[in-house]
């Protein structure tokens, strides 16, 4: 038997250890190839037009996948080597030299990596067109996708996976060369000693809860108004999560193990002892998985939330279908002439707003700034045309409503503050009775505005020159989504100083950006699930092999197979479930400020995303459980 | 001998175990027409040379293996007719096991190992505690209960295993070469414990061994050769030394492994 046929045999026999690795690395190659080919695809670049800069998202994503795949391959390889040390020792005992063993491992690695690489590239080639079409659908681009083989992508993937192959070959050779025969034989016996729990664990466990709790508190209460604290919040939650796994869960297992009254009840004794013994070796993996899952879930909710809410967001950012600033009769004529040529488009509302410029002390920051002033009736009229539920009712002449643009949620502390509007020759002392940040015209052109009673507005208006007024004309059209050609024509007619802003443009660009983000999010999400799932699968299979004797003993003394299955499913449920639960809670908390920042409710996206993730993750749990039970129940 | 009522714990009738018949290969009769009765409170040793069928015999009565024909009644229940998961339950509640290599779980303390069968049967905590206390004192391991198996000696491990076997007060304790992995001092300690449990608690113990010294602690010895009952002897009023000589004599006739007695 040659080394090559032996290697092939080994791979066939060990497929139960390799399949998870295969799926995950094949998917990495596939995603990487796809992304690199999209980056280099001329058609896609053409489609993006002036949004070409968002390609940088794909580049960042490709490097993320590359880094993650590299880590994953390295991690899996160390695992497989650890799992197979005894096998290598047997070969050497039977007279194989270390060099031959290393060569055997080299051939096996070559075959597995080459196989994963080729299937990934093959999938990439086959589905390239399909996924670019999917991307087009997501960004609502129309255009032909031609079948292309991207040499750049091929080159990038080859370099990455070639390098990884060299690294893991060197790594495994070192592992095999370094150890003596006896160490190789005993490697799997190196028992993971039970949990060490001391007073320090209690302190760290408390810190973890405190850190998570405070991080959550800041995220929910403060992050929306003060984005600068974001790094602190992230740090608190990440550290809290890691410490939660290292200490708090250890503590819970320890307490459960020490509480004899609760422990000596059925299979609980078995799985708590198993956890007590195994948890220490799993802590690192579990906390990394919890953190990465949190990141993946947050990123996906952010991307899909934006994608799902593009229309809402664009309506929010551009409440008018079309608006321009300081239009005169001529501008209005251009508009009317253009619309006449487009029968499909009609005007539902036309609103002209005349803002007055005044100086005042900024009620938020105390600086001296220029503000706009608008009358109450116009403001309410515009809002009702835009189907916004903002309606104000100023009771006294000294009352005013403050439209602010500062943060993600309006700062209510300004209510009750006095403001002095400085006009050319008279000052107006007003009191802010309400505030809000619902945009009533395009955000791009909005400024903090005071809404005053019509009588006050007229008074101010009469005292200042017409030149310092700011006029905005807004239109609401019957159907924005068929206005593409109209807007194209309008753009070429209206001079740039009138700052033409349209809902449709914002919506179109939003779709491109968020469509791409969701597309990337989809791949990263799947990659994270397959990789984290595989990592737990590896670990558990290895533990099952090591623990087989324990379960044989249990069966000999009269523990039935269903009882063993029950104990194992509970043990794995805790190991699999803890990171998912913690990640879900983290994500839930993160969704609150994320939703505030985006300006809409993303609970629906949050629930769907967590459910989908949990379902896919459960598949890994069930597969792992089945394999674990099969391993421990085999051979009496 | 006391005047208590003898009841049958184990009754074996026409037991046969044939290997290899299923696939039409060469048939091998491991056990042939075994008939045996063991009364409550007996301490029986099963002896015989390698390949005589001792292990098969033990596997069959411990419900791990199924006989080809014949019946095995434990407390009147025919175990050959039991199926999983009743079989596991039966094993856990009616039988106690002591193995040559201890078979303690190294993820559990000695205490947890011992109470495992009771915990699985969901016995009340109070009962578990009392029984643990009782049995660990009898076996002299009550001060090391919180240690892990890898922290104690072989003899202590085996006594913990014996405690695990006894804690459910099984109808019968089955010991497979319990002294096989122990040095002579630990062996003696263990055998004294078993003898003590047999005497005081009226525990029924069946021990498979090829060690004549270990067998000499029993009250009755059954010899198996080529799958058949060859002979049986009772200790009666003999001293252990005489009984030991007696065993050696029979072993020399059936060609037992007497070599490791020296």
Give the Cβ contact number of residue A213 at 10 Å. Answer: 12
Confidence (pLDDT) at A451: 92
Task: Report ipTM (2 d.p.).
Answer: 0.85
Taking the CA of residue B96 and the nearest CA in chain A, the distance in Å comes to 7
* pLDDT above 70 for B162: yes
Please state the pTM of the whole predicted model. 0.81
Give contacts of A194 with chain B, Cβ < 8 Å: 107, 148
Q: What is the pLDDT averaged over residues A255-280?
A: 90
Maximum distance among all alpha carbons in chain B? 55
Res. B258: pLDDT tops 60: no
| C-alpha span between A435 and A527 (Å, rounded) | 45
Q: Does A282 touch chain B (CB under 8 A)?
A: no
Alpha carbon separation from A246 to A72, A86, B163 (Å, rounded): 22, 30, 36
Report residue B71: phi and psi, to 5°. Answer: -130, 150
Average pLDDT estimate for A398-419: 83
Mean predicted lDDT score pLDDT of chain B: 86
A561 near B CB under 8 A:
yes
Asked whether residue B257 carries a pLDDT value surpassing 90, the answer given is no
* C-alpha span between A402 and A379 (Å, rounded): 12
pLDDT tens-digit series, residues B225-245: 888 888 889 988 888 899 999
Tell whether A431 lies on the interface with B, counting CB pairs under 8 A: no
- Determine the pLDDT at residue A406: 64
Q: Which of residues 156-185 of B touch A (CB under 8 A)?
A: 164
Are the CB atoms for A292 and A75 separated by under 8 Å? no
**pLDDT digits 0-9 by tens, A533-557:** 888 888 888 888 888 888 988 888 8
| Percentage of chain A modeled with pLDDT above 70 | 97
Q: What is the mean pLDDT of residues A19-45?
A: 86
pLDDT tens-digit readout, A93-119: 888 888 888 888 889 888 888 989 999
Top-confidence range, A136-145, A325-334, A578-587, B197-206: A578-587
- Name which of B84, B120, B128 is nearest A266 (Cβ-Cβ): B120
- Please report the pLDDT score of residue B262 as a whole number: 37
Q: Mutating which of B74, B88, B113, B123 best tests the A interface, going by the most A Cβ atoms within 10 A?
A: B88
pLDDT at residue A266 greater than cutoff 70 = yes
Check: CB of residue A450 under 8 Å from CB of residue A400.
yes
**Whether A478 contacts chain B with CB within 8 A:** no
A546 and chain B in contact, CB less than 8 A: no
List, for residues A500-513, the tens digit of each pLDDT value: 899 999 998 888 88
CA A105 to chain centre: 38
pLDDT on residue B1: 41
Kindly give the interhelix angle for A561-598 and A230-243, rounded to the nearest 10 degrees.
170
Largest CA distance in chain A: 104
Please answer yes or no on whether A557 and B122 come within 8 Å at the CB atom: no
Among residues B171, B37, B30, B19, the alpha carbon closest in space to that of B95 is found at B171
Helices A268-308 & A230-243 angle (0-180, nearest 10): 160
More confident residue, A327 or B169: B169
Query: Does B127 have pLDDT greater than 90?
Result: yes
Query: Using CA atoms, how far apart are residues B67 and B136, in angstroms rounded to an integer?
Result: 35
Option in A264, A550, A636 nearest B119 (CB): A264
Judged by a CB distance cut-off of 8 A, whether residue A260 touches chain B is yes
- A62-66, A390-394, A425-429, B228-232: lowest mean pLDDT where? A425-429
pLDDT band at A190 (very low <50, low <70, confident <90, very high): low
Task: Scan for tokens 């009620």, then name that residue.
Answer: A363
Residue A203, class by beta-carbon neighbours within 10 Å (0-12 exposed, 13-18 middle, 19+ buried)?
A: exposed
In a mutational test of the A interface, the residue from B103, B105, B126 whose CB has the highest number of chain A CBs within 10 Å is B105
Look at residue A635 in the predicted model and tell me its pLDDT.
Answer: 60
Rounded Cα–Cα distance for residues A384 and A387 (Å): 5
pLDDT (tens digit, 9 = 90+) per residue, A456-498? 888 888 888 777 788 898 999 988 888 888 888 888 888 888 8
DSSP track, A319-347:
-SSEEEES--HHHHHHHHHHHHH-TT--E
B232 touches chain A (CB under 8 A): no
Contact A191 B150 (CB under 8 A): yes
Q: Per the structure block, which two tokens stand in for A371?
A: 């503000």
> Which residues are CB-neighbours of A542 under 8 A, at least 6 positions away?
A79, A82, A83, A188
Shortest alpha-carbon distance between residue B125 and chain A (Å): 6
Contact B243, B207 (CB under 8 A): no
CA distance linking residue A610 with residue A605, whole number of Å: 8
Per-residue confidence (pLDDT) for residue A579, from 0 to 100: 94
């Amino acid at each position: 038997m040659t080394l090559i046929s032996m290697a092939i045999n080994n791979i066939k026999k060990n497929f139960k250890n390799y399949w998870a690795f295969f799926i995950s690395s094949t998917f990495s190659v596939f995603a990487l190839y796809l992304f690199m080919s999209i980056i280099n695809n001329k058609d896609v670049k053409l489609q993006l037009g002036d949004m070409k800069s968002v390609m940088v998202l794909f580049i960042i994503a490709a490097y993320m996948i590359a880094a993650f795949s590299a880590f994953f391959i390295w991690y899996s390889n160390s695992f497989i080597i650890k799992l197979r040390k005894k096998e290598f020792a047997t070969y050497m005992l039977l007279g194989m030299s270390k060099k031959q063993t290393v060569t055997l491992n080299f051939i096996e690695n070559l075959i597995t990596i080459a196989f994963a690489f080729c299937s990934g590239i093959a999938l990439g080639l086959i589905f390239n067109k399909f996924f670019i079409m999917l991307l087009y659908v997501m960004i609502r681009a129309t255009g032909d996708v031609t079948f292309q083989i991207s040499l750049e992508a091929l080159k990038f993937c080859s370099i990455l996976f070639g390098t990884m192959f060299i690294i893991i070959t060197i790594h495994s050779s070192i592992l095999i060369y370094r150890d003596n025969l006896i160490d190789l034989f005993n490697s799997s016996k190196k028992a993971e000693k039970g949990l060490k729990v001391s007073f320090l664990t209690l302190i760290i466990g408390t810190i973890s809860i405190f850190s998570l709790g405070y991080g959550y508190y800041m995220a929910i209460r403060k992050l929306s108004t003060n984005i600068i604290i974001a790094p602190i919040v992230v740090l608190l939650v990440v550290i809290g999560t890691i410490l939660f796994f290292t200490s708090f869960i250890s503590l819970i297992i320890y307490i459960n193990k020490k509480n004899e009254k609760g422990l000596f009840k059925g299979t609980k004794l078995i799985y708590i002892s198993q956890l007590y013994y195994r948890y220490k070796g799993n802590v690192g993996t579990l906390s990394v998985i919890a953190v990465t899952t949190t990141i993946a879930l947050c990123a996906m909710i952010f991307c899909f939330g934006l994608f799902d809410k593009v229309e809402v967001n664009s309506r929010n950012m551009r409440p008018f279908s079309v608006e321009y600033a300081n239009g005169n009769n001529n501008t209005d004529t251009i508009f009317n002439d253009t619309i006449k040529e487009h029968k499909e488009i009609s005007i539902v509302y036309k609103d002209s707003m005349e803002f007055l410029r005044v100086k005042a002390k900024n009620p938020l920051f105390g600086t001296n700034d220029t503000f706009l002033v608008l009358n109450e009736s116009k403001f309410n009229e515009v809002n009702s045309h835009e189907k916004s539920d903002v309606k104000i009712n100023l009771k006294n002449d000294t009352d005013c409503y403050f439209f602010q643009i500062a943060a993600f949620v309006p700062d209510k502390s300004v209510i009750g503050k006095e403001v002095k509007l400085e006009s050319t020759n008279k000052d107006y002392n007003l009191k802010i009775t309400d505030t809000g940040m619902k945009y009533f015209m395009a955000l791009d052109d909005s400024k903090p505005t005071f809404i005053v009673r019509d009588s006050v507005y007229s008074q101010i208006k009469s005292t200042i020159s017409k030149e310092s007024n700011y006029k905005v004309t807004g239109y609401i059209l019957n159907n924005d989504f068929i206005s593409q050609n109209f807007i194209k024509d309008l753009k070429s007619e209206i001079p740039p100083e009138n700052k033409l802003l349209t809902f449709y443009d914002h919506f179109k660009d939003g779709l491109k950006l968020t469509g791409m983000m969701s597309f990337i999010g989809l791949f990263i999400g799947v990659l994270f699930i397959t990789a984290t799932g595989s990592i737990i699968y590896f670990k558990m299979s290895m533990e099952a092999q090591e623990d087989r004797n324990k379960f044989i003993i249990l069966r000999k003394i009269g523990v039935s197979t269903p009882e063993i299955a029950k104990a194992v499913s509970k043990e794995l449920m805790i190991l699999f479930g803890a990171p998912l639960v913690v990640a879900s809670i983290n994500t839930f908390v993160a969704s609150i400020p994320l939703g505030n920042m985006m300006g809409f409710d993303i609970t629906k996206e949050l629930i769907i995303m967590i459910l989908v993730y949990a379902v896919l993750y459960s598949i890994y749990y069930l597969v792992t459980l089945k394999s674990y039970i099969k391993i421990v129940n085999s051979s009496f | 001998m006391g005047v208590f009522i003898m009841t049958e714990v184990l009754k074996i009738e026409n037991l046969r175990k044939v290997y290899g018949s299923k696939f039409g290969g060469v048939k091998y009769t491991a056990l042939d027409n075994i008939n045996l009765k063991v009364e409550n409170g007996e301490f029986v040793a099963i002896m015989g040379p390698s390949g005589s069928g001792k292990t098969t015999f033990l596997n069959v009565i411990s419900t791990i293996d199924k006989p080809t024909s014949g019946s095995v009644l434990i407390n009147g229940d025919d175990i050959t007719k039991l199926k999983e998961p009743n079989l596991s339950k039966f094993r856990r509640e009616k039988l106690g096991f002591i193995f040559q290599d201890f078979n303690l779980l190294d993820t559990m303390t000695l205490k947890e190992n011992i109470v495992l069968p009771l915990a699985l049967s969901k016995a009340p905590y109070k009962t578990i505690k009392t029984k643990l206390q009782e049995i660990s004192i009898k076996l002299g391991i009550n001060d090391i209960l919180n240690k892990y198996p890898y922290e104690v000696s072989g003899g202590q491990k085996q006594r913990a295993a014996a405690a695990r076997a006894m804690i459910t007060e099984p109808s019968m304790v089955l010991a497979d070469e319990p002294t096989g992995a122990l040095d002579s001092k630990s062996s003696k300690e263990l055998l004294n414990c078993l003898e003590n449990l047999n005497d005081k608690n009226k525990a029924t113990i069946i021990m498979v061994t090829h060690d004549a010294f270990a067998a000499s602690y029993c009250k009755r010895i059954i010899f198996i050769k080529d799958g058949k009952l060859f002979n049986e002897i009772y200790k009666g009023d003999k001293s252990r030394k005489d009984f030991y000589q007696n065993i050696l004599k029979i072993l020399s006739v059936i060609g037992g492994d007497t070599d490791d007695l020296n």
